[in-house]
Amino acid sequence: MTTIEFDAERSYDAERFSAIEAFRSGRMKVVCGFFEPGQFIPVHAPGSDVVIEVRSGTGVVRDGETEHRVEAGDIVVVEADTDRGIKADDDSRLEALLVTAPPPTDAEHEPVRTGLQTSEFDPHEDTE
């Protein structure tokens, strides 16, 4: 059995969101995500489902073309192959537990890297 002590994993990075991998198998990946105000995981559409449990703070979760307001206690599920991203509000830290199944591939995370390098929540928004 794997236990996750969310509070013990807490780590913030002034430059970008902090993703602490708590568990990984061939079928699932569990990450503790810590976002300073305004930080985000850029929009991308990997071939995996994701469950996002917001533990504290406020922000938005992109699900396809829709942005849903989220706060502590909310649980959001986004299906595979659907555009998704997470962004903390500009005035709030956000903490979330993210469970993806199966784990996204490195290639599927290229839009995440691009968005972080260009500071764009939706790195392909201007190209559509």
In a domain, 1, yes or no: no
In a domain, 53, yes or no: yes
The pLDDT score that the predictor gives to residue 5 is 84
Identity of residue 13: D
CATH of the domain at 67: 2.60.120.10
In a domain, 99, yes or no: yes
Statement: the pTM of the whole predicted model exceeds 0.85: yes
Gyration radius of the chain's alpha carbons: 14
- The candidate with the shortest Cα–Cα distance to 44, out of 117, 104, 92, 94, is 104
The pLDDT score that the predictor gives to residue 126 is 55
pLDDT over 50 (residue 128): no
Segment 54-112, tens digit of pLDDT: 999 999 999 999 999 999 999 999 999 999 999 999 999 999 999 999 999 989 988 89
In a domain, 98, yes or no: yes
In a domain, 109, yes or no: no
SS3 content of the chain, % helix, strand, coil (to 5): 15, 45, 40
For residue 53, the SS3 value is strand
Q: Note down the domain range covering 76.
A: 15-103
- Report how many domains make up the chain: 1
